[in-house]
Chain A
Amino acid sequence: MEIISRHQLLTISIIYQIGTTIIFGFASGAGRDSWLAVLISTCLGTAVVWIYTRITHFNPGLTYIECYPAQFGKLLGTPIAWLHPLLFLYISGRIVADIKNLVPTTILPGTPPWVILLFFMLVISYGLFAGIEVMGKLTEIILPIILLIYLIEVILIFSSGVVHFDNLSPLLDKGWGRIWEVVWPLGIIQSFGESLALALVWTLMNERKRVGRTMIISSLFAGLFIAFTDALAVAVYGEEIFKRATYPMYALIQAISVSDFITQLDATGVIYFCFMAFLKTYIYLFATIRSIQKLTYSNSSRVFIFPVVLIALFMGLTMAPNVVEHIAVVQKVIPYNPIYLSLMIVFPVLLFLVSWIRNKSGTAAS
């Protein structure tokens, strides 16, 4: 049985929650108030994450997926539980598609996307074979490096003389309307609601009691990180370009120019993104495989690795014909899709209440 430490869970969660927003931006629809929208989403999102951790707390010994059959009964719980691996698989397919859209258009024009993705998936399958423990160690090494590079990047941006905090004012220019639009439900689902996949990692941690606190720390950290980055992007580009850019954060890296020597680091931005996408896909696929394993009561998870990876690869390759459609799905479809909402918010809340009441009455009875 693999065991990860608290610190490893923390690093995995932080990288996972910052995730692909490092390129795509978060809540860019809110324009210059996006950082505010991120902060609000963070507060609400952290609450959602807390609910997830409580659920696993009330059901000791069970993974999150197994809580549904346990609390709702097999008839009702099992189908709901089965929705999860499907959702995870779908989202991992989406991230793979992100890679498909971003990498060939930015740093590797002319390379067929399937080749890029095959290499990507190969590394992921090796990681899946190596197990979550290795991934915990990997993030432990890489997170400090990422934060260091980010810090250098921020310093470079400031010394490039392109930051104008004027651009952030006026606050609430167009009122709360557009902030609320991006916060609910997309802001909560993105990053924070998606932490659901991490719930399958929690049972592998050595100090189960501290899962809740670890997750809250990582959610807040990720939220602040994203908020700061958003604010910086607006300060550099102004609201209008920020809203129009396909990859706002990618543009942010382009702005770096220090004494004509360190310039045009956009390729490194893509590399950043690839790593984040790597970890995110990894966690989703890990969650998919683990939930399938739990739901089929099989002993080994290894048999599921190749089928799942291949499905994700196929989905990534065929998902969206172009970037516009692909990104439009995030903004138009996902927030209003009942599956997302119900799996990430409605069911967990119900499950939380049921477990809570059971737990309370259980302790009262005994």
Chain B
Amino acid sequence: MVQKIQLEHNYDYILSGNVTEDLNQFKTIFDNCIDIKFREFDIHGARKGALVFLSGMVNMQTIDFEIMKPLIESDERLFQESAAELNDSDIQNIIENRLLFSSQLSWFEDFPDIIEHVLSGNVAFLLDGLQQVLVINAKDWEKRTVEEPATEAVIRGPREGFQETISTNISLIRRRLKTPQLKMEDMKVGRLSNTQIVITYLEGIVDTKLVDEVKNRIGKIKIDAILESGYVEELIEDNSFSLFPQVLITERPDRVVGNLLEGKVGIIIDNTPFVIIVPGTFFQLLQSPEDYYQRYFVASAIRMLRFFAVLFSLLLPSLYIALTTYHQEMIPTMLLISIAASRETVPFPAFIEALVMEIAFESLREAGVRLPRPVGQAVSIVGGLVIGQAAVEAGIVSSPLVIVVSMTGIASFIFPSFQLGLAFRLLRFPMMIAAATFGLYGILMMLLLLLIHVLRLKSFGVPYLTPMAPLRISGLKDVIVRASWLKQSTHTGELKSQRHQNPFNRLRQRQNK
């Protein structure tokens, strides 16, 4: 599965066994790379050795004291004594077993392999007379510490989030699932970036077809570089012609583990703190991991609140337009009178007014995200309070509309998934156009279009609206409400496995065996 590095020059690089020669080959390959370091040395004058590594990606301490020191200080006899009698494997044996203190080392003879390892921060050790190179793990580079995830904050729950180093991320998951059933499979994607991707799942719970499908799709990716999980998401999703995110993206290890327990597959990508979980369903995107940590009545209420938020953020401005320009009779009289009074000086049609306000709101929001935090706050204060107030007082927009737009904005902040929130933010605009053209009728037809589209979507063979459509009553327990763990014994997803979601149940089962 591992994709070989494509060497640029078409020479046949072959290890000769002569350190000087081989080193020259390396130097040709790493021409003009200042970060590559070569260190040649003699071992008791008997043999020449060399180390090749990337500075900044290795731990110098390790190289100095755990590689160089044991080699140079080693017992002279080891190398001098009847050097000719020692064959290659003996030497390898000596180095591995009696000299180096490193726990991770292995021998390679192909250039591409070695180069790949060097590039990912390992140290290559060349020794005269050996046509193999020892690769020693000494990876160490600057990284963030494990911090609280910025996008998925919770009130109750672990504060750990993923960071950019894949090994740390893997350990964060492994710490939560101490079982050999948790599998991690390695893949390399990207012709130039050679990004490491790890596919993780729980054997016995996951549907093996799903794992094969994920591997298959990732294997088919043809791209120069993977810089973020978004690349992978776009290249493996079922229907890229859709606004809706069809995979779940998270920064939280506990969320990944929760999903693995439901039989999903996690895709961990190097250099990004975001982990992809497939298959992703709509209702899952509306859930926050915290739902499972809070008391279930509260969590259920919050989930229902989110459903309202979905409706609000999608429909509120368009309903405002439809009601004020087409169905005035539906507004209670007194309310109508006050809306009409505040709209009296507004020179635009309601649709334009709403459109302008929505666009203004979206720009404010985008500006707030991009700017440094202190400036961002200033923007939101100036934009939200000052401009809003001034616009209303100047009679350019009506105050009910300001209320509508801000409520829509707040509703769109309730989405636990930023990606899904984006989809709804965008969908609001066609909805508004439909409402401005046909009133409620337009909204209905637009909703039907939207529903048909969403119902067609599948994520890795799982219908997007599972378990609402196709209906699975038992699954609704974890969708509309969050039922108590005691009541929730079966899977929510349309995944084949019939294992129980409740960790305690599984424990019990195993004990019974």
Interface residue ranges, A against B (CB under 8 Å): 5, 7-8, 103, 107-108, 111, 116, 119-120, 123, 126-127, 130, 134, 136-138, 140-142, 260-268, 270-271, 274-275, 278
Whether a CB of chain A sits under 8 angstroms from the CB of B470 is yes
Q: Which residue of A lies closest to B329 (CB)?
A: A264
Q: A271–B455 contact, CB under 8 A?
A: no
Distance of A141 Cα from B463 Cα, bound (Å):
13
Instruction: Among A108, A127, A265, point to the contact of B441 (Cβ < 8 A).
Output: A108
Q: A120–B330 contact, CB under 8 A?
A: no
A264 CB, min distance to chain B CBs, angstroms: 5
Distance of A119 Cα from B439 Cα, bound (Å):
13
Beta-carbon contacts under 8 Å, B409-451 to A: 438-442, 444-445, 448-449, 451
Q: B455–A267 contact, CB under 8 A?
A: no
Q: B438–A108 contact, CB under 8 A?
A: yes
> Which residues of the partner chain A approach B330 to less than 8 Å between Cβ atoms?
263-265, 267-268
Q: B332–A134 contact, CB under 8 A?
A: no
Q: B455–A107 contact, CB under 8 A?
A: no
> Which residues of the partner chain A approach B444 to less than 8 Å between Cβ atoms?
271, 274-275
> Which residues of the partner chain A approach B386 to less than 8 Å between Cβ atoms?
none
Distance of A307 Cα from B326 Cα, bound (Å):
33
Q: B332–A260 contact, CB under 8 A?
A: yes
A347 CB, min distance to chain B CBs, angstroms: 34
A137-B445 contact given A130-B456, A260-B332, CB 8 Å threshold:
no
- A-B contacts, 10 listed (Cβ < 8 Å): A107-B439, A108-B326, A130-B455, A137-B470, A140-B470, A261-B332, A267-B440, A270-B441, A274-B445, A278-B448
Whether a CB of chain A sits under 8 angstroms from the CB of B99 is no
> Which residues of the partner chain A approach B329 to less than 8 Å between Cβ atoms?
264, 266-267
Whether a CB of chain A sits under 8 angstroms from the CB of B465 is yes
> Which residues of the partner chain B approach A103 to less than 8 Å between Cβ atoms?
441
> Which residues of the partner chain B approach A266 to less than 8 Å between Cβ atoms?
329
Looking at chain B's contact residues, is the secondary structure mostly helix, strand, loop, or mixed? helix
Looking at chain A's contact residues, is the secondary structure mostly helix, strand, loop, or mixed? helix
Q: B455–A137 contact, CB under 8 A?
A: yes
Q: Which residue of A lies closest to B449 (CB)?
A: A123
B351 CB, min distance to chain A CBs, angstroms: 15
Q: A267–B439 contact, CB under 8 A?
A: yes
> Which residues of the partner chain A approach B332 to less than 8 Å between Cβ atoms?
260-263
Q: Which residue of B lies closest to A259 (CB)?
A: B332
A119-B438 contact given A107-B326, A140-B471, CB 8 Å threshold:
yes
Beta-carbon contacts under 8 Å, B457-489 to A: 463, 465, 468-471
A147 CB, min distance to chain B CBs, angstroms: 14
Q: A123–B445 contact, CB under 8 A?
A: yes
Whether a CB of chain A sits under 8 angstroms from the CB of B220 is no
Q: A130–B452 contact, CB under 8 A?
A: yes
> Which residues of the partner chain B approach A274 to less than 8 Å between Cβ atoms?
441, 444-445
Whether a CB of chain A sits under 8 angstroms from the CB of B327 is yes
B38 CB, min distance to chain A CBs, angstroms: 62
Instruction: Among B327, B442, B451, point to the contact of A119 (Cβ < 8 A).
Output: B442
Q: B471–A127 contact, CB under 8 A?
A: no
> Which residues of the partner chain A approach B326 to less than 8 Å between Cβ atoms?
107-108, 267
A280 CB, min distance to chain B CBs, angstroms: 14
Q: B448–A107 contact, CB under 8 A?
A: no
Interface residue ranges, B against A (CB under 8 Å): 326-327, 329-330, 332-333, 438-442, 444-445, 448-449, 451-452, 455-456, 463, 465, 468-471
Q: B455–A134 contact, CB under 8 A?
A: yes
Q: B438–A141 contact, CB under 8 A?
A: no
> Which residues of the partner chain A approach B465 to less than 8 Å between Cβ atoms?
137, 141
Q: Which residue of B lies closest to A134 (CB)?
A: B455
B190 CB, min distance to chain A CBs, angstroms: 36
B187 CB, min distance to chain A CBs, angstroms: 34
A279 CB, min distance to chain B CBs, angstroms: 10
Q: B438–A268 contact, CB under 8 A?
A: no
A232 CB, min distance to chain B CBs, angstroms: 21
Residue with the greatest number of chain B CB neighbours at <10 A, chosen from A108, A130, A136, A142: A108
> Which residues of the partner chain A approach B442 to less than 8 Å between Cβ atoms?
119
B333 CB, min distance to chain A CBs, angstroms: 7
Instruction: Among A8, A141, A262, point to the contact of B468 (Cβ < 8 A).
Output: A141
Distance of A270 Cα from B327 Cα, bound (Å):
12
Distance of A268 Cα from B441 Cα, bound (Å):
9
A326 CB, min distance to chain B CBs, angstroms: 19
Additional A-B contacts beyond A8-B471, A142-B451 (12; CB < 8 A): A8-B470, A107-B441, A126-B449, A138-B469, A140-B468, A260-B332, A265-B330, A267-B439, A270-B440, A270-B441, A274-B445, A275-B448
Distance of A130 Cα from B454 Cα, bound (Å):
11
Residue with the greatest number of chain B CB neighbours at <10 A, chosen from A5, A111, A137, A260: A137
Distance of A242 Cα from B470 Cα, bound (Å):
39
Q: A123–B448 contact, CB under 8 A?
A: yes
Distance of A8 Cα from B470 Cα, bound (Å):
8
B224 CB, min distance to chain A CBs, angstroms: 36
> Which residues of the partner chain A approach B452 to less than 8 Å between Cβ atoms?
123, 126-127, 130, 134, 138
A141-B451 contact given A260-B333, A261-B332, CB 8 Å threshold:
yes
Q: A137–B438 contact, CB under 8 A?
A: no
Q: A116–B438 contact, CB under 8 A?
A: yes
Q: A134–B438 contact, CB under 8 A?
A: no
B350 CB, min distance to chain A CBs, angstroms: 16
> Which residues of the partner chain A approach B438 to less than 8 Å between Cβ atoms?
108, 111, 116, 119
Q: What 10 pairs between A and B have smallest CB-CB spacing? A: A137-B469, A134-B455, A264-B329, A267-B327, A140-B469, A137-B455, A261-B332, A141-B469, A271-B444, A140-B471
Q: A137–B441 contact, CB under 8 A?
A: no
Distance of A260 Cα from B471 Cα, bound (Å):
38
> Which residues of the partner chain A approach B445 to less than 8 Å between Cβ atoms?
119-120, 123, 274
Distance of A270 Cα from B329 Cα, bound (Å):
14
> Which residues of the partner chain B approach A136 to less than 8 Å between Cβ atoms?
470
> Which residues of the partner chain A approach B451 to less than 8 Å between Cβ atoms?
138, 141-142
Distance of A137 Cα from B329 Cα, bound (Å):
34
Q: Which residue of B lies closest to A275 (CB)?
A: B444
A323 CB, min distance to chain B CBs, angstroms: 18
Q: B449–A138 contact, CB under 8 A?
A: no
Q: B439–A5 contact, CB under 8 A?
A: no
> Which residues of the partner chain B approach A123 to less than 8 Å between Cβ atoms?
445, 448-449, 452
Q: A108–B455 contact, CB under 8 A?
A: no
Residue with the greatest number of chain A CB neighbours at <10 A, chosen from B444, B448, B451, B456: B448
> Which residues of the partner chain B approach A140 to less than 8 Å between Cβ atoms?
468-471
A226 CB, min distance to chain B CBs, angstroms: 22
> Which residues of the partner chain A approach B327 to less than 8 Å between Cβ atoms?
107, 267
Instruction: Among A108, A134, A261, A267, point to the contact of B456 (Cβ < 8 A).
Output: A134
> Which residues of the partner chain B approach A262 to less than 8 Å between Cβ atoms?
332
Instruction: Among B440, B468, B469, B470, point to the contact of A107 (Cβ < 8 A).
Output: B440
Distance of A267 Cα from B463 Cα, bound (Å):
33
Q: B449–A7 contact, CB under 8 A?
A: no
B449 CB, min distance to chain A CBs, angstroms: 5
Distance of A274 Cα from B330 Cα, bound (Å):
18
